């Protein structure tokens, strides 16, 4: 399958597959389980896959690779669940929103396996403030928890990757998050940003945004996506 346009189209098709997901969390908002996971595989095999074989029939052998990898992930529940963990857009939902928030809070945060087998431990500072009569704003920032960070393993990983044995493995972290909640405690809008860097060698930034839209706005967005996909198919 050539070009990124088809990859984006495939990703949009996966949204249809996952539209019926029921995700289970604990009281702290931590992701725990996918309800009736087997139904997801049945939907893929019986509803989604037949349509995709027709839609992407002209895109071999890339189609076979995408089908094989998707089927593989849906047969491995543990691996599929891991795809929801980490600093992805799912973090918007997997937090302890439904509680009384203090004006200022300091709490630990652990991103497991952020650097392969190495975890990224952070110390998060949260500030909660009203920005209108019906809207609450939560701002987060974070620094590296140096006491819990396995710097030796991280330095060893960098040495293995670069073959440079005197590399400066000092890691810097910049995290900023802003969430806006309505009076019922529902997330209306959010911005997430995380950057990790090693001086003069490595820098990676991840950003996500979310916004609650009305039914009319949703229908308009869907129509725009359909028109865009139609133009790409013609090209």
- One DSSP character per residue, 181-235 reads EETTS-EEEEEEEEEEEETTTEEEEEEEEEE---HHHHHHHHHHHHHHHHHHHH-
Which burial class, exposed, middle or buried, applies to 120 when counting CB atoms under 10 A from its CB (0-12, 13-18, 19+)? buried
Evaluate whether 64 touches 57 at the Cβ level (below 8 Å). Answer: no
Stronger pLDDT, 8 or 18, i.e. the higher one: 18
Which residue in the block uniquely carries the two structure tokens 């049945």?
42
pTM: 0.78
Q: What's the token pair of residue 130?
A: 């009203």
Mean pLDDT over the full length of the chain: 87
Tell me: pLDDT of 91 over 80. Answer: yes
Q: How many C-beta neighbours within 10 Å does residue 36 have? A: 11
Tell me: pLDDT of 189 over 80. Answer: yes
Mean pLDDT for the stretch of residues 41-62 = 87
Cα 163 off chain centre by = 31
Using CA atoms in the order 91, 226, 66, 7, what is the torsion angle rounded to 10 degrees? Answer: -70
Q: Is the preceding omega at residue 161 within 30 degrees of 0, hence cis?
A: no
Tell me: pLDDT of 5 over 60. Answer: no
> What pLDDT is recorded for position 109?
96
Partners of 176 in the beta sheet?
141, 193
Most confident of the following: 84-98, 120-134, 159-173, 212-226: 120-134
Which sequence spans correspond to the domains of the chain? 4-84, 101-211
- Region of poorest pLDDT, from 3-12, 41-50, 145-154, 213-222: 3-12
């Amino acid at each position: 399958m050539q070009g990124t346009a088809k990859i984006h189209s495939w990703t949009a098709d996966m949204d249809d597959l996952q539209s019926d997901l029921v995700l289970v969390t604990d009281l702290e908002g931590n992701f725990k389980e996918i309800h009736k996971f087997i139904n997801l595989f049945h939907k893929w095999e019986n509803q989604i896959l037949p349509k995709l074989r027709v839609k992407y029939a002209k895109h071999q052998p890339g189609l076979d690779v995408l089908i094989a990898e998707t089927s593989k992930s849906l047969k491995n529940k543990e691996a599929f669940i891991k795809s929801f963990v980490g600093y992805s857009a799912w973090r918007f939902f997997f937090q302890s929103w439904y509680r009384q928030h203090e004006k200022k809070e300091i709490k630990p945060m652990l991103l497991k396996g952020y650097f392969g087998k190495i975890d990224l431990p952070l110390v998060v500072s949260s500030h909660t403030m009203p920005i209108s009569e019906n809207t609450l704003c939560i701002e987060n920032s974070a620094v590296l928890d140096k006491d819990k960070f396995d710097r030796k393993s991280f330095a060893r990983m960098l040495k293995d990757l670069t073959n440079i044995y005197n590399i400066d493995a000092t890691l810097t972290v910049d995290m900023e998050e802003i969430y806006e909640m309505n009076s019922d405690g529902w997330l209306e809008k959010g911005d997430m940003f995380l950057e990790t860097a090693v001086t003069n060698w490595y820098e990676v930034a991840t950003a996500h945004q979310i916004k609650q839209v009305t039914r009319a706005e949703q229908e308009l967005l869907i129509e725009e996506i359909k028109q865009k996909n139609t133009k790409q198919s013609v090209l």
